Structure 1
Amino acid sequence: MVPSSPDAGPSCAGSGEGAQGPEEGSAGASQAAPATQSPRKDLLARKARILVEFLLEKYTKKEPITQNALMKIVSSKYRQHFPEILSSVREHMELVFGLEMKEVDHRGNIYTLIRKLNFGGNDCPRDEGALPKSRLLMVLLGVIFMNGNHANEEEIWEFLSMLGVYAGRRHCIFGEPRRLITKDLVQKEYLNFHRVPNSDPLCYEFLWGLRACVETSKMKVLEVLAKFNGRVPSSFPDLYDEALRDQAEGSGLRGAARAPTKAEASAPSRAKSCSSSHI
């Protein structure tokens, strides 16, 4: 899901001056990135990420988007892959930002971005105007799920960098991302963010929060995760089996009485969160 190294692209409009982006060649490549990812796919993913940032800038400025401008960013060298890249970009814009790319002038190949109102039955969060944040939340819950129901900061920011979202750099859709995911979503109990006991050097991790456990399910999150990767839920066998078990147990808080797994037994702090044992 995550390119092995970020590549510099245009910033989202409204970015804070002097903000720092991710360090090149980050030491902690996300475990979510498939080890067998080909260089071509990695490069195309980075091209897609640059297009996502370009589209967000156009959306913020309310400017039309032309296919020629998009193809210029991709460059003629990758023209044959343009349909594949654009398809991925449109999927990411819808899944993460709640924006649908519509063609408004077929002859001129001119597009615009409009706000998509529904999200496949997702109920959280319900605050007015929070649709893009709810979509980002579902994707973050998916990253936590696929990393064994807990993900450290490094893994989360490595993933977000693929979407052009960086700690300390104001985003035109999400505002200040660090505040959003470590404070706002934590205070609303959609995420659990805490220090890993006895970690040296100091390390923090994310887990599912109480409201996430109640208002969504592993299967719903897996569906989003699969769609984000252009796949189906069953193509992630281990996650799919876990989601089916979770689904069979019913909705709401279900794991209070379940015995911890071997991994959870070795990490008592994680057992305190519903995400590490029973989401």
Structure 2
Amino acid sequence: MDWEDENLSDNREHRNNVIHYILNNSSSKIPIKHTEIVARALNGKPALLNQVMPAVKEALENTYGILLKTVPETKSGKLYICVSKFTAVSSNEYNETQRSQLTLLFLVLSYIFMRGIPVSQDFLEEFLKGLHIYFDKTHPYFGSNIKKLITDTFVKQLYLKKTKSDKDAIENELFYTWGYRSEEEFSKKDVLDAVSKLLNKPAKQFVLQYLQANSDEAVN
């Protein structure tokens, strides 16, 4: 084996190591740290990741239907998330727990989107109470730990973005908006269509949401 063949073989091995690490750590939906990939899959050699990353992304997309996205504006170093390249995924691909969590997430995202502004935790809790979903009570479908799922798990998975209030506002009040993963995985047009059908009103009646949803569709 000459030098070029050996180098090609090494690159292929490094690429496969990175792919395996990403696939093994993507199911939790927690963002994958750049530093962890380097440490765990490449023996702490960051230059190797830059070298094989184009091939890694290509293989993930073409073989597994996964888009590897770099999370913008992060304070925790470079992070990646995996997003399916297929916009419509059958609910049969999820287990019962995953389906219930996605349903709850869809309710929360719909409420935030229709409000059109960051939603305080108090407002969000009151909205869910109106649907007989309580932060501190077990629900027959959504289960227990609903508060932790919404205020912690969904935030860590980047489905929701949590921010604190301004200094002049109520002390320690928390607000929620769509997180980066939601922007990548959910269509605001689909959310608006679902709400419109539920309320039996035309989507155009919700002017701001209609404009935003169609603007996002045009960009994508």
* 1:194-205 paired onto structure 2 within 5 Å: 194-198=163-167, 199-205=169-175
Q: Higher relative contact order by CA 8 Å / sep ≥ 6: 1 or 2? A: 1
Query: Partner of 2:95 in structure 1?
Result: 128
Alignment length (residue pairs)? 130
Query: Partner of 2:193 in structure 1?
Result: 223
Query: Partner of 2:210 in structure 1?
Result: 240
Please point out which of 141, 154, 158 is paired with 1:173: 141
Contact 2:121 2:175 in 1 (8 A): yes
The structure 1 segments of at least 4 consecutive aligned residues displaced by more than 4 Å after TM superposition are none
Structure 1 residue runs of 5 or longer lacking an equivalent are: 1-119, 251-279
* Bigger Rg, which one: 2
CA separation in 2, counterparts of 1:132 and 1:227? 21
Query: Partner of 1:63 in structure 2?
Result: none
CA separation in 1, counterparts of 2:103 and 2:202? 18
Compare the two structures and name the one with the higher helix fraction: 2
Q: SS at 1:168's partner residue?
A: coil
CA separation in 2, counterparts of 1:238 and 1:214? 20
Please point out which of 105, 109, 121 is paired with 1:153: 121
Query: Partner of 2:176 in structure 1?
Result: 206
Q: SS at 2:175's partner residue?
A: strand
Structure 1 position 212, deviation (Å): 0.5
Structure 2 residue runs of 5 or longer lacking an equivalent are: 1-86
**Does residue 1:186 correspond to 2:159, yes or no?**
no
Contact 2:109 2:178 in 1 (8 A): yes
Letter in 2 for 1:138: F
Q: Which moved more, 1:206-215 or 1:140-149?
A: 140-149
CA separation in 2, counterparts of 1:135 and 1:228? 15
Letter in 2 for 1:228: L
Q: Cα 1:186–1:247, aligned 2, differ >3 Å: closer, same or farther?
A: same
Contact 1:157 1:166 in 2 (8 A): yes
1:54-100 CA-partner distances (Å, limit 9, x unpaired): xxxxxxxxxxxxxxxxxxxxxxxxxxxxxxxxxxxxxxxxxxxxxxx
CA separation in 2, counterparts of 1:123 and 1:196? 38
- Computed over aligned residues only, the root mean square deviation of the Cα atoms, in angstroms, reads 2.3
Contact 2:116 2:209 in 1 (8 A): no
Letter in 2 for 1:239: Q
Q: TM-score, normalised by structure 1?
A: 0.43
1:211-262 CA-partner distances (Å, limit 9, x unpaired): 1011112111111222232323222122111211111111xxxxxxxxxxxx
CA separation in 1, counterparts of 2:128 and 2:166? 25
CA separation in 1, counterparts of 2:89 and 2:215? 20
Query: Partner of 1:27 in structure 2?
Result: none
